[in-house]
């Protein structure tokens, strides 16, 4: 795994309609590391920000996503949404079914918005 660590200035933070944020970081040219960044535009990565030079710690890691045996991705998502739904203090499975449909629509709509898609699917 290649980790790029460089000094830079957080020069702009913007909030977006999908409730994400966009960060603009200005830095000196990075040589070969800059090429690695350019090769990975539009890919998901992990970022850290510190006001002072920091050492990379192995304790700071992201758990890899592991498939759950015997469950499809949609079953895993539904189960995770059910767990979250229970924290909202609703009581019935009927209420969950309506809430679940709404959440699935929001998830799908987020991806359509990312593509600026305006047709019907």
Q: Return the number of other C-beta atoms located less than 10 Å from residue 85's C-beta.
A: 16
Average pLDDT over residues 17-37: 78
2 and 57, same domain (yes or no): yes
Instruction: Supply φ then ψ for residue 102, to 5 degrees.
Output: -60, -45
Q: Can you tell me the distance from the alpha carbon of 45 to that of 72, in angstroms, rounded to the nearest whole number? A: 25
Domain boundary among 22, 41, 62: 62
Tell me how many domains the chain contains: 2
82 and 37, same domain (yes or no): no
39 and 18, same domain (yes or no): yes
User: 88-107 pLDDT, tens per residue?
Assistant: 877 788 889 999 999 999 99
52 and 4, same domain (yes or no): yes
Show the domain range for 51.
1-62
User: 28-74 pLDDT, tens per residue?
Assistant: 777 776 777 777 777 777 777 777 776 655 444 556 667 788 888 88
87 and 109, same domain (yes or no): yes
- What integer pLDDT is reported at residue 59 of this predicted model? 44
30 inside domain:
yes
The count of C-alpha atoms lying within 13 angstroms of the C-alpha of 29, restricted to the half-sphere facing its C-beta, is: 3
Nearest to 93 by CA among 81, 104, 105: 81
Angle at 67 (CA atoms; ends 1, 74), nearest 5 degrees = 125
């Amino acid at each position: 795994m290649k980790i790029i660590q460089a000094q830079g200035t957080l020069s702009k933070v913007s909030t977006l309609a999908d409730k994400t944020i966009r960060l603009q970081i200005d830095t000196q040219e990075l040589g070969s590391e800059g090429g690695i960044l350019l090769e990975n535009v539009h890919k998901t990565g992990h970022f850290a920000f510190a006001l002072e030079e920091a050492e990379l710690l192995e304790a700071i890691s992201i758990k890899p996503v592991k498939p759950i045996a015997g469950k499809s991705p949609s079953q895993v998502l539904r189960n995770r949404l059910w767990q979250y739904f229970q924290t909202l203090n609703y009581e019935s499975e009927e209420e969950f079914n309506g809430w679940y449909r709404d959440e699935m629509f929001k998830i799908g709509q987020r991806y359509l918005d990312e593509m600026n898609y305006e047709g019907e699917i």
